[in-house]
Amino acid sequence: MKRLPTACVTTVAAVLAVGIGFRMAAAPVTAMPTEITYPQVYSTPDGETHFREVSVPLTSDATAPPAQPVAQSALQVATTIRHAAFPAGWGAYDRDHKILHNASSARFVTIRRGVMWIRTSDGETRRFQPGDVVEVLDVAPSKGHTTWVGTEPVIELFSNHR
């Protein structure tokens, strides 16, 4: 195997670096978010369930130096977590017959795979997809909500609290 002269390799590397826009400058830093917002299912004193948007303030904190600071909320207590898998079409009967159920525990639900819908007792319906988080607080004795799954199975992570 023939070796290329070092000068030739260096020249080719320099041309490629310029051609693809290689820079040694630091990546631009964008402004850190100061809050996040997520949907929450809650009940009113009459037992009706509704959606509302909850905003949580974020502050910059370097929690793992030498890593750069990140925007974080205050700590919240979580009691247990559980992974759940729902087959395609789960809850369609409840949807079609207007059957409501309560959450067994106050929890954050993170959709990991698939698409699901939640309808509160006031009739509002929202669609959730991978990456979405919803907090569900309508434990008994509220009227509850209806949940159903689309044509693909859904994988969720429940993070229980309170």
- Coil vs helix vs strand at 25: coil
More confident residue, 72 or 3: 72
- Decide if pLDDT at 120 tops 60: yes
| pLDDT given for residue 39 in this prediction | 98
Q: What is the mean pLDDT of the chain?
A: 87
- List all residues 6 or more positions away from 119 whose beta carbon is below 8 Å from its beta carbon: 95, 125, 145, 146, 147
| pLDDT given for residue 93 in this prediction | 98
**Among residues 140, 136, 145, 127, which one has the least CA distance to residue 49?**
145
Q: In one letter, which amino acid is 11?
A: T
- Decide if pLDDT at 94 tops 50: yes
| pLDDT given for residue 29 in this prediction | 65
pLDDT digits (tens, 9 = 90+) for 25-81: 555 667 889 999 999 999 999 999 999 999 999 999 988 899 999 999 999 999 999
Q: What is the CA angle 97-159-77, rounded to 5?
A: 135
Which tokens hold the place of 28?
């631009």
- Please compute Rg for the chain using Cα positions: 24
For the domain bounded by 27-160, which CATH number is listed? 2.60.120.10
Whether pTM exceeds 0.85: no
- Decide if pLDDT at 1 tops 80: no
Return the exposure string of 86-98: e unless at least 16 CB atoms fall within 10 Å of the residue's CB, then b.
beeebbeebeeee
| pLDDT given for residue 30 in this prediction | 77
Segment 134-158 mean pLDDT = 97
